[in-house]
Amino acid sequence: MIKIIKDTENHLLIEIEVSEANLNNSDLFKTQVIQLLDRHEKTVIIDFNQVEYIDSSFLGALVAILKHAIGMKLDIILVGLKSDVHDLLKLIRLDKVFKIFGSYNEAINV
């Protein structure tokens, strides 16, 4: 489901390894990322480059993760969103609550 790509002093970079992010994997995704937040206590950067489609269950999981992170005073950053996925986030105004960057390098250079 997710793979840790990089573990630096102040953040974790993880990649979602499915192309359809949906009801079948949203609970697992939420549990795994929340465990990472609890264990590492660092900002998590999520790379979506493999994700072609995201459904509302998965968006719900993503928001639950964000709320958990905010409670810990940490950030969730989304990178590598395909245009369809990014458009959907913008349409329902979730781009106002997540930090979104084109790539990992862009995200860390801000």
Partner 1 sequence: MATSAQVKTILLVDDNQLFLKMLSQAFKKSGIECITAESGKQALEILTSTLPDAILSDYEMPSMNGMEFRQQLMADDTFKDIPFIFLTYIIDNDLMVKGLNLQAVDYVIKDTPVNVIVSKINNLIYTVQKQQELSKSELKKAAEALNVKSIPTKTPEIDGFDIDFWHRPYQDIPGGDFIDFINANERYTFIVLGDIMGKKWMAWFFTFSFLSYIRAAIRFCVLSRDYSVGSILQKVNDVICLDDVLKDILSSLSLLMIDNETLIITYAGAGDLPLLHFEADTSTLKQISGDGLLLGLFAGNEYTEQQITLAKNDQLLIFTDGMIDFSDDTGKKSDYNTFARNIDLMLNKKYSFKRIQDELFEPSLAVQVDDCSIINIRKTM
What is the pairing mode between strands 53-54 and 20-21? parallel
Residue labelled with tokens 């998590």:
44
Told to check if 92 binds partner 1 by CB under 8 A, we report yes
Kindly tell me which residue out of 12, 13, 25, 44 binds partner 1, with binding defined by CB under 8 A. 25
Residues 51-70 that bind partner 1 (CB under 8 A): 52-57, 59-60, 63-64, 67
The stretch near partner 1 (CB under 8 A) out of 7-15, 23-31, 73-81, 98-106 is: 23-31
Give Cβ neighbours of residue 30 (< 8 Å, ≥ 6 apart): 61, 64, 65
Sites of contact with partner 1 (CB under 8 A): 1-2, 17-20, 22-25, 27-28, 52-57, 59-60, 63-64, 67, 84-85, 87-88, 91-94, 96-97
